[in-house]
Amino acid sequence: MKIIRLLPMLALLLGGRTVVAQTPAYLDDSLPIEQRVEDALARMTLEEKVALCHGQSKFCVAGVKRLGIPELWMNDGPHGMKADIHWDSWEYAKATNDSCTAFPALVGLAATWNPELSLRYGRALGEEARYRKKDVVLGPGVNIYRTPLNGRSFEYMGEDPYLAAQMVVPYIQGVQQNGVATCVKHFAVNNQEADRLKTDVVVSDRALYEIYLPAFRAAVQQGGTWSIMGSYNRFEGTHCSHNDRLLNKILKGEWGFDGAVVSDWGGTHDTREAALNGLDIEMGTHAKSYADNYLADPFLALLKNGEIPQRVVDEKARRVLRLILRTSMNRARPWGSFATEEHAAEARAIAEEGIVLLKNEGGLLPLETKKMRIAVIGENADKRMSEGGGSAELKVWREITPLAGIRARFPEAEIVYERGYVSGYKGVTQAVGGQHARAVEAARKADLVIYVGGLNKERGQDSEQADRSDLYLPYNQDRLIGDIAAANKNTVVVLLTGNAVAMPWIDRVRSVVVAWYGGSEAGNALAAVLSGDVNPSGKLPVSFPVRLEDLGAHSPLAGEYPGDGTTVRYNDDIFVGYRWLEKQAVRPLFCFGHGLSYTTFAYGKPRVDASTLRPDGRIVLSIDVTNTGARAGAEVVQLYVGDREASIPRPVKELKGFRKVSLAPGETRTVEFVVTPEALSFYDAERHAWKAEAGQFDLSVGSSSADIRRSVTIRYEE
């Protein structure tokens, strides 16, 4: 039994009398948490307070053994619980009980446009973390998708701040229901892996508040996350893991964050800055020993000689104690469960809803289940996608590949598999050429081709520490797809990716599916969509441009990526993703919010309960949506707001609401959106406040950012 369970009933024999010690307030979970924090803090020595402010191993923070306050254990996420590593190295411990469930990558979760699924995702992940006795999950990530070259885009929730905010809140709530903290990352303006350790991001206050901070703010103020991770890059000249403006003024000041700020691993660079600029727990730094960390002995020395006041360490220890009480000292939290069939079922449901059908010429999909010869081509068809990617790499108990899923779903078909290409090759060697030729021949002899390619989470292809070099598919896949399509007109291209890719072959294939990285049940989920067992309902959380230069970060008009090695200027400002494309009237390959179905949906005439909105009011917009096809399906109804009379540059329109509605054939449902002044506002940098200007606003409802079905105009009066 742990000491914290013995202390409340500890008996002392004094003079022949038995005296029952009074329970210390910090151990009494019936008391308010703040009272318990202050009681524990008052009992601690200076050395014990400092010990809470830095790691004692790669993923562990010391508790206070003398007081029965347990350690705090962290684990990489956000798509599953990473395998255990050794105490003081990055080598895997090779345990036999840490093979987890892999959930879909967060870009795939965002593609579901379903907050209810996000809650289920978080709850299942939290159960796995709790069972493994982990207290903090290092995720989710909500950095905005500024460029499709970013190596970690697959870990994030898309290009739109409203979508990311709506999807991250239930994820946090689901995880923390288990008494496990989320550590939302990477705060902030961490939008590329190139030069991530040194790049100073220069961004306007307006873009900061309108684009790059809303998801973090929602994570704090709506999701109630218990910890936040600082990012590697600099902002306004200072590293983000100890940045006074980001951490003290915005996060803890403006937003009222009461949790702990954790550095990214090795993201701390200075004792004074770390002490004074808002960092609470330094992780990953290691010189000769953890005692040499910036917030270890060097911090203690400055406290002892009075150069840093004790109130600084008290505030840090207070926040860490609050985190410990919410997690490792929370005796009411459930036991959790790990690598269960129930979690696999949740992973599959999320993967199915996140799959996006981009193109389906002539109704090639769904596939008929009659006997046929199917050529499955592509290395990704038989590759474990849970592996690789950097800190998001997972060791899983089961992973159904696309090839395995297709074979299981179509037992009556003759399935021929050809690899087609070999990853890791920079040019066309004889071996690769042979793979290519066999794949094209297999395509020519088949009734149907299912090509499964894309990126693969190797370094430079959706992975930490490196960005992609261009928008094209690696390993000569674009050429291979073109040759396959020439050999067989019935070609379905399935892309496993965390980023947008170019498609120079798009006019030569009939169907294109984006399946992201689908986790443990990826193959079964894909087969269910290809067969029509599941009607696709995913929508793109990112824009797919025709060319890289079509996007603001790469445009000759404004783009600056990746910067000069020390600085990157966000000259695209608030115009990220579809905002830039619409501003420049550039048509994307596939627009933000796009996704087809095996059925069709009709939108009725929108209705508003008032035509004028005032500062303290709201308007309810209602619209009927009908399934006009022969299959049950789900539609994501999207609301965009556009300012007709803005005094400053504003996007043509911005996402301000969405609802996913499931409909049987012929069924009609009414979807409602509540529009408040907040939805009409922009950030006024001079006033340091949000502002809605008087004038006319278009409320547009549609199936994507480019497929607007109905609009209505309202007036806002200040």
Asked if pLDDT for residue 451 goes beyond 50, the answer is yes
Is the sign of the CA dihedral 427, 501, 199, 276 positive or negative?
negative
What's the farthest any 2 CA atoms get from each other in the chain?
Answer: 96
Catalytic residues: 264
Segment 391-406 shows an average pLDDT of 97
Q: How far is Cα 522 from Cα 514, in angstroms, rounded to an integer?
A: 12
Asked if pLDDT for residue 62 goes beyond 60, the answer is yes
Q: What is the model's pLDDT at position 85? A: 95
Asked if pLDDT for residue 411 goes beyond 80, the answer is yes
Encoded tokens for 552: 């603001």
Asked if pLDDT for residue 7 goes beyond 80, the answer is no
Domain with CATH 3.40.50.1700 in the chain: 347-538
Q: How far is Cα 158 from Cα 109, in angstroms, rounded to an integer?
A: 10
- Residue 406: count of CB within 10 angstroms of its CB: 25
Asked if pLDDT for residue 257 goes beyond 50, the answer is yes
CB-CB contact of 350 with 108 (8 Å) = yes
* CATH fold group of domain 599-716: Immunoglobulin-like (2.60.40)
Segment 189-218 shows an average pLDDT of 98
Segment 145-152 shows an average pLDDT of 98
Task: Kindly report, residue by residue over 276-286, the tens digit of the pLDDT.
Answer: 999 999 999 87
Domain with CATH 3.20.20.300 in the chain: 31-326
Domain with CATH 2.60.40.10 in the chain: 599-716
Q: What percent of the chain has pLDDT over 70?
A: 96
Asked if pLDDT for residue 15 goes beyond 90, the answer is no
Segment 177-201 shows an average pLDDT of 97
Where does the pLDDT of residue 16 fall: very low under 50, low under 70, confident under 90, or very high at 90 and above? very low
Segment 244-263 shows an average pLDDT of 98
Task: Kindly report, residue by residue over 116-132, the tens digit of the pLDDT.
Answer: 999 999 999 999 999 99
CB-CB contact of 639 with 699 (8 Å) = yes
Segment 221-229 shows an average pLDDT of 98
Tell me the CATH number of domain 347-538, given options 3.40.640.10, 3.90.1300.10, 3.40.50.1700, 3.50.50.60: 3.40.50.1700
Catalogue the long-range contacts made by 22-27 (C-beta closer than 8 Å, 24 or more residues apart).
Answer: 24/67, 26/67, 26/69, 26/321, 26/325, 27/68
CATH number of 31-326: 3.20.20.300
Asked if pLDDT for residue 143 goes beyond 50, the answer is yes
Asked if pLDDT for residue 67 goes beyond 80, the answer is yes
Find how far residue 381's CA is from the centre of its chain: 24
This prediction has a pTM of 0.96
Backbone angles phi, psi at 104, to 5 degrees: -60, 150
Q: How far is Cα 666 from Cα 672, in angstroms, rounded to an integer?
A: 20
Segment 406-416 shows an average pLDDT of 96
Find how far residue 467's CA is from the centre of its chain: 17
CB-CB contact of 490 with 508 (8 Å) = no
Give residues with Cβ within 8 angstroms of 533, minimum separation 6. Answer: 409, 527
Asked if pLDDT for residue 20 goes beyond 90, the answer is no
Encoded tokens for 336: 């959790």
Angle, CA of 569, 154 and 184, to the nearest 5°: 75
Asked if pLDDT for residue 590 goes beyond 50, the answer is yes
Among the listed residues 147, 109, 143, the one whose alpha carbon sits nearest the alpha carbon of residue 213 = 143
Q: What is the model's pLDDT at position 286? A: 73
Helices (H), 278-412: 297-304, 310-326, 341-354, 402-409
Segment 561-587 shows an average pLDDT of 97
CB-CB contact of 540 with 356 (8 Å) = yes
**CA distance readout (Å), 456 to 107, 151, 410, 491:** 15, 11, 25, 21
**Residue 544, SS3 per DSSP:** strand
Among the listed residues 273, 280, 236, the one whose alpha carbon sits nearest the alpha carbon of residue 257 = 280
**Residue 460, SS3 per DSSP:** coil
Encoded tokens for 137: 């999950």
Task: Kindly report, residue by residue over 598-652, the tens digit of the pLDDT.
Answer: 999 999 999 999 999 999 999 999 999 999 999 999 999 999 999 999 999 999 9
**CA distance readout (Å), 358 to 196, 204, 361, 362, 364:** 32, 34, 10, 13, 13
Q: How far is Cα 79 from Cα 392, in angstroms, rounded to an integer?
A: 7
Segment 310-331 shows an average pLDDT of 98
Segment 523-548 shows an average pLDDT of 98
Where does the pLDDT of residue 21 fall: very low under 50, low under 70, confident under 90, or very high at 90 and above? low
Q: How far is Cα 396 from Cα 343, in angstroms, rounded to an integer?
A: 12
Asked if pLDDT for residue 388 goes beyond 60, the answer is yes
Q: What is the model's pLDDT at position 10? A: 42
How many helices (H) does the chain have, and how many strands (E)?
18, 29
Asked if pLDDT for residue 390 goes beyond 50, the answer is yes
Q: What is the model's pLDDT at position 550? A: 98
Where does the pLDDT of residue 8 fall: very low under 50, low under 70, confident under 90, or very high at 90 and above? very low
Asked if pLDDT for residue 259 goes beyond 90, the answer is yes
Q: What is the model's pLDDT at position 432? A: 65
Where does the pLDDT of residue 287 fall: very low under 50, low under 70, confident under 90, or very high at 90 and above? low
Q: Mean pLDDT score of the chain, rounded to an integer?
A: 95
Q: How far is Cα 86 from Cα 105, in angstroms, rounded to an integer?
A: 26
